[in-house]
């Protein structure tokens, strides 16, 4: 398999001793949209800057299209980078800003002008080509930065929080444009963000980072339904996490003794779940059912085994055919639950009692 981008055992330690990136491994296929997601300071930007060449690699291999580029200058790499503040030249108009990258490459003027016209057209910027960038809106400036990076026809586009400076509505619409553009161009995008929703909306795969290390690399849905660690589960949100100790494992289902009882979850990561080990059950919002308190116990048992916890319904909102509920456990913990309206019509009410129930195969167990 030929990859567009490969990082193998990549480390970055800054001169002051800060270990910013620790043993980073990732293979990226051509045309993939990859997001680096994680809290501030986890090493996302450092990794992106190493790929672009603006930061040196301390050790490990950085390969672009099968060629080791650790020691290659940024301008020699087939990458383009967009920064959060766009770094546009205020004294130049839109066209001059976009042309700049091609002038640096000493491309003949006719050819350069033709390429600039094409990309301005593609991004809907032709009508403002002669305006100074200082007079333009945030969304327009974002598009110019995009045009300037794409005009050099990179193999890989690197984007460092490119939507961070935009307000929420504009952000949403530019997200959509960005995704369409990426599909249209078919080039690889590596995108840094600390916004979960943005990473989930845009990417084919998300790399979750924590304190310099990769925690998990997964498609968005899998990250949400099958987080591999507590850190990922908490960072992605909307999951109930039940800590406990292992009682037994049978057929890939681990039973944990928790504060609320003994419950099961699937051991998808193949963790050594020996008796007494501390682990947690992860319950994604759509993996749990809310069962009215008047449903007989043997009926609950037949569907869910021992996986039922008494709770009260704090709030209930119906949107279309889906009920969105916030429920409260006995210890005060709140979790989100979604259910189909038809299932228990009129038997679930805000303020009422119910059971949170799930099939062990729909929940996952992870390390404590």
Ligand X SMILES: Nc1ncnc2c1ncn2[C@@H]1O[C@H](COP(=O)(O)OP(=O)(O)OP(=O)(O)O)[C@@H](O)[C@H]1O
- Contact stretch for ligand X (CB under 6 A) within 24-32, 38-46, 177-185, 215-223: 38-46
Residue 193 φ/ψ, nearest 5 degrees: -155, 155
- Contact stretch for ligand X (CB under 6 A) within 34-42, 67-75, 283-291, 339-347: 34-42
> Cβ distance 366 to 227 under 8 Å?
yes
Left, alpha or beta for 233 (phi > 0: left; psi -120 to 50: alpha)? alpha
Interacting residues of 86 by C-beta distance below 8 A, sequence separation 6+: 141, 142, 144, 145, 162, 165
CB of 42 to ligand X, least distance (A): 4
CB of 50 to ligand X, least distance (A): 9
> Cβ distance 11 to 167 under 8 Å?
no
**Single residue of 24, 35, 45, 188 touching ligand X by CB under 6 A:** 45
43 binds ligand X (CB under 6 A): yes
41 binds ligand X (CB under 6 A): yes
18 binds ligand X (CB under 6 A): yes
44 binds ligand X (CB under 6 A): yes
In the region spanning residues 298 to 317, those forming contacts with ligand X, defined by CB under 6 A, are none
Q: Report d(CA 85, CA 360) in Å as an integer.
A: 47
By C-beta, is 38 or 265 nearer to ligand X? 38
In the region spanning residues 173 to 202, those forming contacts with ligand X, defined by CB under 6 A, are 194
- Contact stretch for ligand X (CB under 6 A) within 14-22, 125-133, 134-142, 257-265: 14-22
Identify the three-state secondary structure at position 97.
helix
Q: Report d(CA 59, CA 62) in Å as an integer.
A: 9
- Contact stretch for ligand X (CB under 6 A) within 12-20, 132-140, 149-157, 297-305: 12-20
Interacting residues of 146 by C-beta distance below 8 A, sequence separation 6+: 82, 123, 162, 178, 181
Residues that bind ligand X (CB under 6 A): 14, 16, 18, 20, 38, 40-46, 194
């Amino acid at each position: 398999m030929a990859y567009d981008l490969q990082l193998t055992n990549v480390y970055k330690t800054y001169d002051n001793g800060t270990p910013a990136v620790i043993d980073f491994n990732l293979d990226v296929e051509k045309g993939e949209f990859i997001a680096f997601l994680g809290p501030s300071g986890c090493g996302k930007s450092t990794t992106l800057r190493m790929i672009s060449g603006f930061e040196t690699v301390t050790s490990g291999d950085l390969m672009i299209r099968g060629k080791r580029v650790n020691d290659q200058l940024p301008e020699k790499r087939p990458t383009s980078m967009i920064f959060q503040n766009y770094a546009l030249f205020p004294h130049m108009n839109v066209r001059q800003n976009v042309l700049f990258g091609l002038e640096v490459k000493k491309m003949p003027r006719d050819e350069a002008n033709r390429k600039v016209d094409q990309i301005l057209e593609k991004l809907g910027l032709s009508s403002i080509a002669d305006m100074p960038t200082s007079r333009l809106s945030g969304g327009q400036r974002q598009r110019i930065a995009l045009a300037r990076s794409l005009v050099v026809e990179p193999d890989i586009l690197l984007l460092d929080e490119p939507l961070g400076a935009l307000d929420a509505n504009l952000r949403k619409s530019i997200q959509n444009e960005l995704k369409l553009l990426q599909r249209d161009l078919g080039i690889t995008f590596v995108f840094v963000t600390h916004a979960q929703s943005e990473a989930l909306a845009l990417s084919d795969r998300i790399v979750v980072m924590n304190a310099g290390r990769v925690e998990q690399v997964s498609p968005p849905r899998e990250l949400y339904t099958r987080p591999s660690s507590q850190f990922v589960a908490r960072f992605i949100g909307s999951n109930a996490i039940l800590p406990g100790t292992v009682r037994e494992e049978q057929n890939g289902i681990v039973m944990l003794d928790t504060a609320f009882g003994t419950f099961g979850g699937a051991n998808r990561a193949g963790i050594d779940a020996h008796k007494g080990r501390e682990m947690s059950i992860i319950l994604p919002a759509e993996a749990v059912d809310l069962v009215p308190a008047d449903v007989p116990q043997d009926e609950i048992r037949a569907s869910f085994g021992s996986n039922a916890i008494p709770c009260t319904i704090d709030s209930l909102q119906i949107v279309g055919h889906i009920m969105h509920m916030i429920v409260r456990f006995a210890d005060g913990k709140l979790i989100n639950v979604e259910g189909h309206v038809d299932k228990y019509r009129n038997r679930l009410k805000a303020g009422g009692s119910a059971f949170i129930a799930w099939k062990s195969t729909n929940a996952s167990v992870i390390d404590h």
